Amino acid sequence: MSLSYDDIAESYDELYGEEQRAKYRVVLRLVEPREPVLDAGCGTGMLLEHLQCYYVGLDLSYRMLEVARKKGRGVKGDLVCGDAERMPFRDGCFRSVYSVTVVHEAPGLVHELLRVLAPGGSAAVTLLKKRHEALSWLVEQAPVTQVVEEELLKDLVLVLARAAESPSYREGLASVSPRRAYAGLRKELEGGPGSRE
């Protein structure tokens, strides 16, 4: 994946800039940037053009990051070369997370976005409209609060939110065994409302 993006890094904005900027305008309208901001799969750094707050851009392509670095002079932030499916960040460290046209190439991305998203934080993810199977999975597996379809975009925009009172992502997953969680859910469904202990 990164090799092909390395090959087109210098011409990426010319080829896809108008389309990608339109997506960034929509995601920024839906999820207000709150420091610190993560752009997972930042590419050439188009989000930088819209931000006045601390920004971290992550991308697998070193050459795309070089283009972003030139754009981002004077912007407070960092660019990191790394895999969005295995981010080098601690749990819950970003209040706003964006990922534009990446999730269809990185199925493990949503898990990582939720891991690094702070309690009370929001994320905006775009997904190619033609990838219906990924949309179904996302809506079932992730805390999607809104799905937006804009006629002029090739992508759907999904807004995800993490509850303010949620524990750290890993602690929340580890605190209840899947067997115990399933048993509790089954008991509640069989007994109807109010059967929770």
User: CA dist 85 to 75, 101, 142, Å?
Assistant: 26, 14, 15
Per-residue pLDDT at 179 exceeds 90: no
Q: How far apart are CA 169 and CA 162, in angstroms?
A: 9
d(C-alpha 184, C-alpha 189), whole Å: 9
**CB-hemisphere CA count at 13 Å for 46?**
22
CB-based contacts of 152, cutoff 8 Å, min separation 6: 22
pLDDT digits (tens, 9 = 90+) for 13-60: 999 999 999 999 999 999 999 999 999 999 999 998 888 889 999 999
Q: What is the pLDDT of residues 82-99, one digit of tens each?
A: 999 999 999 999 999 999
**Which tens digit of pLDDT belongs to each residue from 141-162?**
778 888 888 888 999 898 988 8
Residue ranges of domains in the chain, CATH in brackets: 2-164 (3.40.50.150), 167-197 (no CATH)
Q: What radius of gyration, in Å, describes the C-alpha atoms of the chain?
A: 18
DSSP string of 15-58?
A: HHHHHHHHHHHHHHHHS---SSEEEET-TTTGGGGG--S-EEEE
Higher per-residue confidence, 173 vs 70: 70
